[in-house]
Amino acid sequence: MNSLFLKLGINSASVSKSLINNVHTSSALAAWTKPTLPKSFISHNNKIYPPQGLDEEPRPAFVCHQKTNLKYSPDKMWYIASMIRGMTVDEAVKQLSFLNKKGALYVKEAVLEAQDLAVKRHNVEFKSNLWIAESFSGSGPVIKGIRRHARGRMGEVRYKYCHYFVRLEEGKPPADFYKHNPQTPPEQLETWLEGMRKRKITNSY
C-alpha cells in the first residue's frame, strides 16, 4: 500500500488510517460480479394472503429459511434433509443432535433459526407447535482445483458447496409423511387380488 502512495506522490504518513481502509483492491468487488445466492425460496415469506372466511379451513402459518454456501456435498446433505421431513421441530433437533455428521450441525442451526424467525416475525404463538413440511438441499458453487498424479500428470479436484432449504408449518405433523394414502392389510390384499385378476396372457383372446 505504501508503494502505491509513493507512485502517486503522496506521503503515506499523512494519509489517515480510515482512508487506507477504504481503498479496495480486491477483484471480488468488481462492478461486473453478480450475486448467485438463491432468492426465490425465501421470497414466500413476503407473500400476503387475503382474509379467510368463517367457513374456510384455517390456513396454517409457515416460514421459509435457507443457509447458503455450506462447505458440504449436496448429495450428502440430501440424506440428512430427507431424514427430518415430517418430524416436529423438537424431534428433528433431538435426532440431529445425536447424528454424527458434519451436515447435521448445519441443518440443526437452520431449523433453530427458522423456529426463532417464526415466533418473532410470523406471529407463531408456540414455538413447539411447528413441524418440518419441506427440507431439501441444492447445489452451490463448485471450485475446481488441481491434484498431482504420478509421472508428472495432473488431475481435477472439485470442492463442492451446497444450499439448504427448510419450511416450517404450524400445527401437528401428519401420521405418515411419505404415505399419502395408507392402506390397511385387508385393503392391501384386495388391491393385490384385483391386480392378479386383471392379468392378461400374451397373444390370447
Cell numbers for 43, please give them.
421470497
* Span 129-171, pLDDT tens digits: 999 999 999 999 999 999 999 999 999 999 999 999 999 999 9
d(CA 13, CA 19): 12
Evaluate if residue 26 carries a pLDDT over 70.
no
> Is this model's pTM higher than 0.75 or not?
no
The pLDDT assigned to 19 comes to 52
What are the sequence ranges of the domains in the chain? Answer: 61-175
The answer, yes or no, to whether residue 112 has pLDDT greater than 80, is yes
pLDDT at 205 over 70: no
DSSP label at 154?
A: E
pLDDT for 31 equals 55
pLDDT in tens, 60-84: 999 999 999 999 999 999 999 999 9
pLDDT band at 182 (very low <50, low <70, confident <90, very high): confident
Contact (CB, 8 A) for 163 and 78: no
| Cα–Cα distance measured from residue 81 to residue 164, given in angstroms and rounded to the nearest whole number | 8
Cα→Cα distances 44→39, 47, 96, 126, 151, Å? 10, 5, 26, 21, 54
- Within the chain, how many helices (H) and strands (E) appear? 6, 3
CATH class held by domain 61-175:
alpha beta
